[in-house]
Structure 1
Amino acid sequence: MSFNIALSGLTAAQKDLDTTANNIANVNTYGFKESRAEFADVFSTSLFSNSKTQNGGGVLTQDVAQQFHQGSLLFTSNSLDMAVSGNGFFVTTDGPLSRDFTYTRAGAFKLDDENRIVTSNGDFLQGLPVNDDGSVKSVSLSTTAPIQIPDSAGAPAATSQVDLSFNLDSNATNLDPSLFDPNDTNTFTSSTSTVVYDSLGNSRISSVYYVKTTNPAALGAGAGAAPGTPGVIPASTSTNNNTFVMFSTLTDDAGNVTPVDLRQDPNVANPGALEYQATTGQRGMLLQFDTSGAVIPGTFPTPRTEPLGAVGNIATPPAVPHDGAGAITNGANPDQTFNFVMTNLTQFSTPFEVSALSQDGQTVGRLTGISIGTDGLIEAKYSNGDSQAISKVALVRFPNDQGLTQIGNTSWTSSQTSGDPLAGEPDSGTFGSIRSGTLEQSNVNLTGELVDLITAQRNFQANSRALEVNNSISQTILQIR
């Protein structure tokens, strides 16, 4: 019996050595979780035995239990490196359409040849579907899919609206708007520009100019009038000396500055009443303010451009297009127009200042970078300035992490002991947050493992000595005559 006890001790000591050696071997394995050999004594008894005099029968390995405490974080320069700070596992599959889920804490991800995020051994990282605003559509594990990063931002979008907010200087010098020339800075008070796009995604510079005048009654004839035709502004506004005329230009296919006619949006009240036509034939819009610097109610226009491909010359020199800019001749939509939507306009005694300027068009963009938030939301950034919410990294947790089944490659599968996986969003509830550009290192404490190695070696030597003593006793008994 003593031989079996000593042999069980040797077996246990060997298991302890193997477990410790495996921990030491994986001290630099990302996402690795150390194991601990757990032992129990062997004690056999029966109804007629005396437990007070019964000795044990040795030792057995009860479990090699993994320890899932957090490993230290290693910061990297790769945005696809991810670590879970807190509770949760990444979800992976071995194929794009596979539902055979595996779970890992190793976050050394990369892109494959189809821009899908994969692990070092080619498994596909699963993500939760999201709406355009980044909100999750479903947190069910069955709705997850491999995360794929589009390399372009889709089809171009023609500009349909330019949003403007600005202050015009009330102390600016009065000018004659009929002499407006975009190439002569002495003929306008102030200006600003933005990039707009045609239907093919070509970029063009749209500029707006403001000309201050204190003699509105001498302005042009308004909508539909021929160039140079005398006319007056409606009586309700003719006494207003705080008036600006707004003109617009656009670069054409050759990069030249081309005049663009402005017309008031026909959907607003009294369309055309605030249009101004200079002696050159170019049409602009009136901007009128009261004595407090605010826009006069009822005189606030929403200018829109004429079709940008239409060309029609006027009879009075200098001949310029007045039915449109003639700027689009490259195959893009020549009927494109866009509105200038102006909000928070003021005319104060401060220099000209643009507080907001944006437009809704875009060209085709190419992937320039990926950002991953602490909530796991993956956003792709493109060369056209666009960004898209692609997916949200899926995390799962288990009632019993130590019940997971190891399958190698620092991955696990669920089992009856672990319980069913519960999917969720990072950084919500009991789930940990995602750290992009970070890797979770092995949670092995090398110093502690070396001490355990010495202890296991001593245990092995002691059990070997017990076996040797038992052998000597047996030899002595056999030599008795």
Structure 2
Amino acid sequence: MAYSQALSGLSAASSDLDVIGNNISNANTVGYKQSGAQFAALYATAMHTSMNNGPGIGTSVSKITEKFTQGTISETGQTLDMAINGNGFFQTANAAGAKSYTRNGQFSLDAGGKIVNAQGLNLMGYAADAKGVLNTSAPVPLSIPSGSIPPSMSTKVNSEANLNASSKPPAEKPFNASNTATYNNATTAQIFDSLGNAHTLNMYYVKEPATNGQPSSWNVYGSMDGAPVGYSAGSAPKTIAQLSFDQSGKVVGNGLSNITLSMPKGATASQPIKLDLSKTTQFGSDFAATSVTSDGCSAGSLSSFSIDNSGKLMGTYSNGQSATLGQVSLASFANEGGLVNLGNNVFAESASSGQPQVGVAGTGALGNLKSGATEASNVDLTSSLVDLITAQRYYQANAQTIKTQQSVDQTLMNL
């Protein structure tokens, strides 16, 4: 009997040494989770058929389990390196769509722009449409688009400026954009047509004299790329806006004006622009253009991208615009210990683990993401080396049991 007990002990100790050795060998494997062997006693009789407690017949390895404790997060500086700080797994899929899960956040781009790991598995997440709106109905393979974003036509111009209340009306009339003596001040805004071509919109402020006891007002004229706005060259100039101010120096009315720009051939011919001058002031200080902004942009190519703590991928383009490219999804399980280890730091769901609960980082029970970093193995080398020595002694003790039984057998044979 002692032989079978010792042999089972040797086998169990050998398995334990294998598990500990595997842990030590993966001490530097990114995202690796330490394993542990669980043992169970073996008995020759079942509980319901025997009333007496007999000696056991050995031991066996009942299960190899992973310990999903947090590993140390280390900076790498690579944008597509990601670490999960807290609960959750990256969701990956192969070409056939079979899902798997991992804590190894080392990803890169393949030739087609898809985000993949070292085994070529696609990182899953939520895709964004052309307007940057995420589709959270179901995770799909994430990719970084290499194409340009289309241009956007300008539709509004916002101007913030202070007009000096002490200014005098220009000495010369009528207004002429090429004659600075016919206007007091000017501001400039850049706008874009439907093809993304940039144009310069100038706004000229002309103070009008007070009449009939009414406070003075300001006429605003415009030109685009040197051509008058709202009238033809050589004809009487027409204003694009008129401003008057109350005693506190604020604009009377809403300060809004609608103008239409004539664009070059090839672009949309008539381009409406909403001019917002509501934040213009008239104080007793020098003229100052605080801010002159417009919407719209030219076409742009992707220059860089980043990933925030929620896993959202943000692209920055050469035209200064930014757009949402997608968002990394994470998965959690009711019983992480029930996951099936497929090797390569990849796990699969099972009946014991339960179905994955998919969401985005920082929501529910899911941890946060850190881009430019990886999670180190959670193997504690010091304790693993101690476990290695202990397992070795278990092995030696079982081997000694065989030697002892051999001595007993030899004694019996010599009687």
Q: Give the TM-score, by structure 2 length.
A: 0.90
Number of residues paired by the alignment? 412
Q: Any unmatched runs of 5+ in structure 1?
A: 218-237, 252-257, 264-276, 309-327
**Which range is displaced more, 192-201 or 8-17?**
192-201
Residues 24, 194 of structure 1: alpha-carbon distance in 2 compared, 3 angstrom cutoff: farther
**Change in CA separation of 1:203 and 1:41 when aligned onto 2, cut-off 3 Å:** same
Structure 1 position 430 matched with structure 2 position 335: no
Aligned-partner Cα distance in 2 for 1:48–1:68: 40
2:235 counterpart of 1:261: no
SS across alignment from 2:163: strand
- The 1:479/1:110 distance shift into structure 2, 3 A limit, reads same
Q: 1:423 to 1:306 in 2, by over 3 A?
A: closer
State the Cα distance separating 1:243 from its structure 2 match.
2.0
Contact 2:339 2:352 in 1 (8 A): yes
Cα distance in 2 for partners of 1:79, 1:154 equals: 21
Structure 2 partner of 1:203: 198
> What's 2:13 paired with?
13
Counterparts of 1:431 and 1:370, CA distance in 2: 23
From 300, 303, 325, the equivalent of 1:390 is 325
1:373: which partner in 2? 308
| Structure 1 residue aligned with 2:56 | 56
What is residue 251 of structure 2 aligned with on the other side?
Answer: 295
CA distance in 2, matches of 1:296, 1:147: 52
State the partner residue of 1:191: 186
Q: Distance in 2 between matches of 1:126 and 1:45?
A: 51
d(CA) in 2 for partners of 1:417, 1:206? 67
Superposition deviation, residue 126 in structure 1: 1.0
Task: Go from structure 1 to structure 2 and tell me whether the alpha carbon gap of 1:393 and 1:6 turns closer, same or farther (over 3 Å shift).
Answer: same
**What is the distance in 1 between the residues matched to 2:331 and 2:343?**
19
1:350-369 C-alpha deviation (Å, 9 max, x unpaired): 44444553322111111122
Q: 1:130, CA displacement in angstroms?
A: 5.2
Distance of 1:411 and 1:463 partners within structure 2: 35
- 2:72 counterpart of 1:117: no
- The secondary structure found in structure 1 opposite 2:173 is helix
Distance of 2:199 and 2:234 partners within structure 1: 26
Cα distance change, pair 294–56 in 1 and its aligned pair in 2 (3 A): same
Q: Show CA shifts across 1:68-116 (max 9, x none).
A: 1111111121222111111111111112xx4311111111111122222
Q: Is the 8 A contact 2:260 2:273 kept in 1?
A: yes
Indicate the percent of aligned positions where both proteins have the same amino acid.
Answer: 34
Helix, strand or coil for the counterpart of 1:10? helix
Alpha-carbon distance between aligned partners in 1 of 2:378 and 2:333, rounded to the nearest angstrom: 19
Which position in structure 1 is the counterpart of 2:404? 469
Q: Distance in 1 between matches of 2:395 and 2:293?
A: 75
* Counterpart residue number, 2:259: 304
**Any idea what the Cα deviations from partners look like across 1:102-144, whole Å, max 9, x if unmatched?**
11111111112222211122111111245788775435xxx21
For 1:127 and 1:429, how far apart are their aligned partners in 2?
17
Match for residue 249 of structure 1? 223
> TM-score, structure 1 length as denominator?
0.78
Deviations 1:5-26 (A, max 9, x none): 1111111111111111111111
366-375 vs 287-296, which moves further: 287-296
In structure 1, what is the equivalent of residue 388 of structure 2?
Answer: 453
Three-state SS of the structure 2 residue aligned to 1:290 is coil
